[in-house]
Amino acid sequence: MRAGEEDLEFVSQDKQISEADVVVIGAGAFGVSAAFHLAQSGLRRVVLADRFAPGTQSSPRAAGLFKNVQGDETRTRLARLSIGKMLNLEAETGQPSLAVRSGSLMLARTPEHAAFAKREAALAQQWGIEVERVDAATVRRLMPLIEPAGLLAAYHIPGDIYIEEPVTLLQAYMKAGERLGLIILPHTTIIGIEINRGAVRAVLTSQGRIETPVVVDAAGAWARAVGEQARARVPVVPVRHQLYITEPIAGIEAHYPIVRFIDTAVYLRPARKGLLLGGFESDPLPLDPRTRPEGFSMDDVPLDVAVLDQHTASVARHVPVVQGAAINEHRGGLFTMTSDGRFLVGPTPELRGFWVLTGCNGSGFSFAPALGQMLAEWVMNGAPSIDLASLAPARFAIVPLDEDQLRAACVWQYGHYYDLA
């Protein structure tokens, strides 16, 4: 069974619905979290629609990593909130806990990256994150598979976590949402947004019309296409990302830390008794579903093992077990990149009642718990409890980039994931 193909029988199928308080488009990490939090905050008629089986596109293909050390204070607060929510998942949703409290190691192998890591660590500490510089012996004790000779700096972040099978978090939010009355509509494509006097009036779906004053565009790689239905600009560029999971390797323990090599932007973690490895190539592949045949899905994203071979080679000196390890699964999906590398969340300036939750920039899975809560607070109370003005769509309304500029900026952001200037 591959990621995303798990049994989704719990989904509330076959419901005929013609009115809703809010319709969330897309049951990926962002959509399921937004829908759960909207239902949790007291809205009675929350609808979550997906063109495919819910939870089967980019999100279940994620590595499942949650990272405390972030480039700015807003992201740090959101990351900490997300991790806290994962540690508290059972109490909040009634669903079994999923977080593996592995901690992580951030490793630098060049003087520039050592200086960068030092700065990141200092800033993270200033924002309340526990980060400790550790020596080679400690690296070895925490992660016996690492050969530390040649590392210039290593930092331990004990609070980082991962989720072994990302699809389980999507299922947890959907099941918990259903208990609160959330209606999930699988295989229901939003094909139009009805507008009345500058405000959302209804969504038109492949199964019929649903009247609603609020729509959340959480359509992932299709978010831009959905935005066009509402005549709202959603300037994201989907870009491919891949990883692999090896066959079991003797001696790997689930509690071993996540490892990040910042110079080559490669990450590893324990997975299914083997190792999961993924990374960010400097010349990535943008891929817009709008230019693909109708019916395009993440199964159609072309995978390229050569990219992962390069990542493997780039870390093999320090993690020798990855060289030649047998591969059990190779998977990939699409990030939604923005030109400034930040999320895109909040109300759109073009259309009242039309909200977006996208622009994952490679971290949508881990930020979805926090951003779903923020979006629900924003819809319900008029403002989120963490100031998200810097992430709101209005920032792109001032001087829109043309198509070539947008693509170039988004591709650049992808290539600089760990070392944003």
Judged by CB under 6 A, the residue of 146, 243, 262, 308 near ligand FAD is 243
Chain positions 187 to 216 lying near ligand FAD, rule: CB under 6 A, are 189-190
Q: How far is CA 296 from CA 75, 222, 272, 334, in A?
A: 32, 10, 29, 12
Does an H or E element contain 224, and which?
helix 223-229
Stretch that binds ligand FAD, among 52-60, 150-158, 378-386, 411-419 (CB under 6 A): 52-60
Residues numbered 358-397 forming contacts with ligand FAD, rule: CB under 6 A: 358, 360, 362-366
Nearer to ligand FAD, 9 or 294 (CB): 294
Please answer whether residues 359 and 410 qualify as being in contact, where contact means their C-beta atoms are separated by less than 8 angstroms.
Answer: no
- Select the residue interacting with ligand FAD from 109, 113, 241, 260 (CB under 6 A): 241
Distance CA 104, CA 418 (A): 14
Minimum CB distance to ligand FAD, residue 26 (Å): 3
Nearest-angstrom CA–CA distance, 52 and 188: 7
State the first-to-last Cα distance of the chain, in angstroms, to the nearest integer.
40
- Find the part of the chain contacting ligand FAD (CB under 6 A) among 95-103, 140-148, 244-252, 356-364: 356-364
For residue 108, the SS3 value is strand
Q: Per rule CB under 6 A, is residue 59 in the interface with ligand FAD?
A: yes
Q: Pattern 21-50, binding to ligand FAD, x per CB under 6 A?
A: ----xxxxxxx-----------------xx
Nearest to 278 by CA among 320, 243, 303: 243
User: Residue 15 to residues 33, 46, 173, 196: CA-CA distances in angstroms?
Assistant: 21, 13, 19, 26
Which of 202, 218 has the CB closer to ligand FAD? Answer: 218
Closer CB to ligand FAD, 147 or 211, in the complex: 211
**CB distance 345 to 374 below 8 Å:** yes
Could you say whether residue 332 binds ligand FAD (CB under 6 A)? Answer: yes
The one segment of 129-137, 149-157, 329-337, 377-385 that binds ligand FAD by CB under 6 A:
329-337
DSSP 8-state assignment for residue 331: E
Interacting residue ranges for ligand FAD, rule: CB under 6 A = 25-31, 49-52, 57-59, 61-65, 189-190, 218-222, 226, 241-243, 278, 332-333, 335-336, 358, 360, 362-366
